[in-house]
């Protein structure tokens, strides 16, 4: 794939008729050098990924042999007795990420519509766009601190009120003890908001102008156009954006380590502390020895496979949505 | 232009050769004593500009690993080194040097309670096991007459990251409570049945400060620095003792230091001893091949064991008792 992409320039410049042979020769040499460089860099990146995968896989072999598939079903993570199971961590990773998506998707898509549908003067629009993109530039640890000092007290009070009045609903079944799914997912949602807003915005822009104008000419209101023309056409692009954001949310570490509660349990309650793979990895590697290191590597391997798979899926969906545009 | 470049190269080279007799000691390990080590090494460097110590607080486990792999000149650990870990060191041998000590305190957030609450020996392990779940539990109330305890659930806060603090705290709980030993056990990272985990002392302190009803364990120096209330604990002799530099030192003095200088103070005797204290160690080789390193470490350790000890109280650490000091000084002298 990469090879075919890098080859054409070098062959093309070899045959350029209107430059002197000397210049053509040096240009050709430069082209060969450059295509070689891109070739090496491109495949180097792939090789690096494969090597990391192999290295992590190799380091996790002792744990794979010891626990095998049971690793995915066991709920015990007990360094004292060297018993390791990943289920609460996989559960925590998926639930916190999906909750974050549930909060961030409507917000992100709404922002994308607001910023692409001519609601604002274009100068103001680029200012707002800049603000949303700025969210992506804030370091994770700052989000974590903001979460602990601002978000957590609010979610704790809200959680305790919901628990006191609606405790019979499994989602609200435990009192809030500070950190847990709710503050973690809320902060995570804000962290992935720029991804969803930017990529959904790009998808919304792919709607052909004539279609929108045609709909308006037939008497559709602005909201009719947005809901029945723009959104359906952009749907697969938006879905791709959401899946990509999911990949990002699952790998997020620092803010979650500070907010999720780091308790390896499975609870249906939104207010219960939980743990995620990335957070456990960040917390445990410094002091881990022996089989624990292998178990942590096994977890890393699972997280890598999950995020790689999800990112690949997002790329395919986003690619297809781009292709849709060409067909129209 | 070229001349200038050549000149500057000469200047840089000569600057390097000027520093050729400067020794840089690389060390890494425990985060718990990192503040006092940082202060020691800075003060020592002022007196001896030819010795620089580059200390990285990366955790006891990682410190042992780097020392074993020969990446550092000495390591530091809150859990010393096990016999297996010592056996894994291929060349140079190992000598463990207790350098300072500290107390671990139970800090809490109880709105409206101003006195230091008293926690009996059978109560605080039960809190960390999730068996005592309310602040106005009869057992807590009985130990604190005159204190109005709120009807509030107890939230346990623990260290989520592997740490020497957890190692020493759980070792203490496992000794005083058979239940804790079988249900949780002792280690750098354990499976607490209840509660929320914070990353580092600061993470646990933030959890305690942010959520009323929370109790957690942090190092004395840290709790003192951020002004968290600390519980008064019942010691082996049955007396309630508040964490102070004096009660910590009393606990250390009650320990008989063995020949290998590896003593864990799991449950100190004595009426005035605070129950949860720990030494923290340097991990040194008995023989160094790099020229000058052995002498540099010996003179550094000698200073830390004398003048350095005086800095301990203001930073929230415990100075080593005289009986321990003489043994550590003797061990330091064996380094070649």
The ipTM (two decimal places) reads 0.80
The larger pLDDT score, comparing residue A136 to residue B14, is at A136
Encoded tokens for A227: 């809901």
- pLDDT for A316 equals 87
B153 and chain A: CB distance < 8 Å anywhere? yes
Q: How far apart are CA B188 and CA B61, in angstroms?
A: 9
Residues of A with CB under 8 A from a CB of B: 76-81, 148-149, 152-153, 156, 175, 177-180, 257-258, 261-264, 273, 275, 279, 282-284, 286-289
How far is CA B211 from its chain centroid?
A: 26
The larger pLDDT score, comparing residue B221 to residue B75, is at B75
Cβ distance of A177 and B185 shorter than 8 Å:
no
Q: How far apart are CA A154 and CA A148, in angstroms?
A: 10
B163 and chain A: CB distance < 8 Å anywhere? yes
- pLDDT for A288 equals 83
Q: Which residues pair with B217 in a beta bridge?
A: B106
Q: How far apart are CA B8 and CA A314, in angstroms?
A: 54
Confidence of residue B17 (pLDDT cuts 50, 70, 90): very low
- pLDDT for B6 equals 57
Range B267-292 average pLDDT: 93
| pLDDT 10s digits, B170-202 | 999 999 999 999 999 999 899 999 999 998 888
Percent of residues, chain B, with pLDDT higher than 90: 70
Q: Which residues from chain B sit within 8 angstroms of residue A299, using beta carbons?
A: none
Q: How far apart are CA B85 and CA B281, in angstroms?
A: 14
Q: Are B228 and B208 in contact (CB under 8 A)?
A: yes
Place of tokens 């750098």: B188
pLDDT tens sequence for chain A (328 residues):
344 444 444 444 445 555 567 778 888 888 899 999 999 999 999 999 999 999 999 999 999 999 989 999 999 899 999 999 999 999 999 999 999 999 999 999 999 999 988 788 888 988 998 999 899 899 999 999 999 999 999 999 999 999 999 989 999 988 888 899 999 999 999 999 999 999 999 999 888 889 888 998 999 998 899 999 899 989 988 999 999 999 999 999 999 999 999 999 999 999 999 999 999 999 988 788 889 999 999 999 999 999 999 989 888 888 887 644 544 4
Q: How many Å lie between the alpha carbon of A73 and the closest alpha carbon of chain B?
A: 18
Place of tokens 């559709």: A220
Q: Which residues from chain A sit within 8 angstroms of residue B60, using beta carbons?
A: 287
Cβ distance of B60 and A287 shorter than 8 Å:
yes
DSSP B77: E
- pLDDT for B164 equals 86
Mean pLDDT of the residues in chain B: 90
- The tally of CA atoms less than 13 A away on the side-chain side of residue B172 is 29
Q: How many Å lie between the alpha carbon of A139 and the closest alpha carbon of chain B?
A: 17
pTM, 2 dp: 0.84
Q: Are A263 and A275 in contact (CB under 8 A)?
A: yes
Cβ distance of B187 and A263 shorter than 8 Å:
no
Q: How many Å lie between the alpha carbon of B318 and the closest alpha carbon of chain A?
A: 24
C-beta atoms surrounding A11 within 10 Å: 11
- pLDDT for A18 equals 57
Q: Which residues pair with A25 in a beta bridge?
A: none
Q: Which residues from chain B sit within 8 angstroms of residue A88, using beta carbons?
A: none
Q: Which residues from chain A sit within 8 angstroms of residue B153, using beta carbons?
A: 175, 177
């Amino acid at each position: 794939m990469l090879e075919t992409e890098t080859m054409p320039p070098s062959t093309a410049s070899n045959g350029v008729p209107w430059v002197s042979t000397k210049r053509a020769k040096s240009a050709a040499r430069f082209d060969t050098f450059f295509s070689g460089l891109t070739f090496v860099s491109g495949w180097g990146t792939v090789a690096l990924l494969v090597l990391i995968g192999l290295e992590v896989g190799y380091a996790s072999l002792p744990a794979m042999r010891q626990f095998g598939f049971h690793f995915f079903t066991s709920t015990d993570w007990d360094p004292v007795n060297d018993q390791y199971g990943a289920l609460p961590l996989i559960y925590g990773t998926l639930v916190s990420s999906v909750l974050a998506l549930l909060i961030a998707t409507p917000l992100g898509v709404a922002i994308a519509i607001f910023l692409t549908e001519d609601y604002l003067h274009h100068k103001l629009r680029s200012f707002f766009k800049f603000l949303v993109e700025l969210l992506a530039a804030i370091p994770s640890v700052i989000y974590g601190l903001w979460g602990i000092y601002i978000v957590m007290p609010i979610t704790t009070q809200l959680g305790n009120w919901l628990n006191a009045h609606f405790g019979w609903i499994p989602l609200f079944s435990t009192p809030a003890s500070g950190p847990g799914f709710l503050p973690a997912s809320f902060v995570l949602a804000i962290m992935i908001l720029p991804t969803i807003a930017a990529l959904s915005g790009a998808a919304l822009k792919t709607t052909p102008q004539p279609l929108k104008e045609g709909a308006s000419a037939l008497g559709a209101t602005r909201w009719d156009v947005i809901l029945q023309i723009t959104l359906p056409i952009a749907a697969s692009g938006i879905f791709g954006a959401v899946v990509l954001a999911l990949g990002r949310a699952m790998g997020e570490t620092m803010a979650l380590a500070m907010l999720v509660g780091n308790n390896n349990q499975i609870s249906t309650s939104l207010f219960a502390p939980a743990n995620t793979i990335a957070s456990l990895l960040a917390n445990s590697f410094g002091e881990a020895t022996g089989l624990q290191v292998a178990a942590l590597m096994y977890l890393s391997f699972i997280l890598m496979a999950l995020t790689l798979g999800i990112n690949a899926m997002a790329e395919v969906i986003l690619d297809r949505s781009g292709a849709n545009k060409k067909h129209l | 232009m070229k001349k200038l470049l050549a000149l500057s190269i000469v200047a840089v080279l000569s600057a390097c050769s000027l520093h050729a007799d400067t020794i840089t000691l690389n060390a890494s390990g425990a985060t718990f004593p990192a503040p006092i080590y940082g202060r020691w090494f800075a003060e020592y460097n002022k007196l001896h500009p030819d010795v620089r110590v580059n200390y990285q607080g990366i955790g006891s486990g990682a410190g042992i690993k780097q020392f074993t792999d020969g990446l550092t000149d000495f390591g530091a650990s809150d859990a010393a080194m096990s016999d297996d870990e010592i056996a894994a060191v291929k060349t140079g041998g190992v000598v463990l040097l207790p350098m300072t000590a500290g107390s671990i305190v139970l800090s809490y957030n109880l709105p409206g309670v101003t006195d230091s609450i008293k926690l009996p020996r059978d109560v605080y392990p039960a809190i960390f096991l999730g068996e005592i779940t309310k602040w106005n539990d009869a057992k807590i109330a009985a130990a604190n007459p005159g204190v109005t305890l709120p009807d509030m659930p107890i939230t346990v806060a623990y260290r989520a990251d592997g740490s020497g603090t957890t190692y020493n705290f759980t070792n203490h709980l496992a000794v005083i409570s058979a239940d804790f030993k079988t249900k949780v056990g002792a280690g750098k990272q354990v499976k607490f049945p209840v509660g929320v985990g914070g990353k580092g002392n600061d993470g646990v302190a933030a959890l305690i400060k942010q959520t009323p009803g929370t109790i957690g364990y942090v190092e004395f120096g840290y709790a003192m620095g951020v002004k968290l209330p600390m519980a008064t604990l019942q010691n082996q002799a049955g007396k309630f003792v508040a964490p102070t530099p004096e009660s910590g030192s009393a606990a250390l003095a009650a320990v008989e230091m063995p020949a290998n200088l590896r003593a864990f103070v799991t449950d100190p005797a004595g009426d005035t001893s605070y129950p949860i204290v720990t030494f923290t160690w340097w991990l040194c080789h008995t023989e160094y091949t790099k020229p000058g390193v052995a002498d540099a470490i010996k003179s550094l350790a000698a200073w830390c064991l004398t003048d350095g000890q005086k800095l301990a109280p203001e930073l929230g650490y415990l100075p080593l008792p005289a009986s321990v000091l003489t043994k550590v000084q003797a061990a330091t002298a064996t380094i070649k």
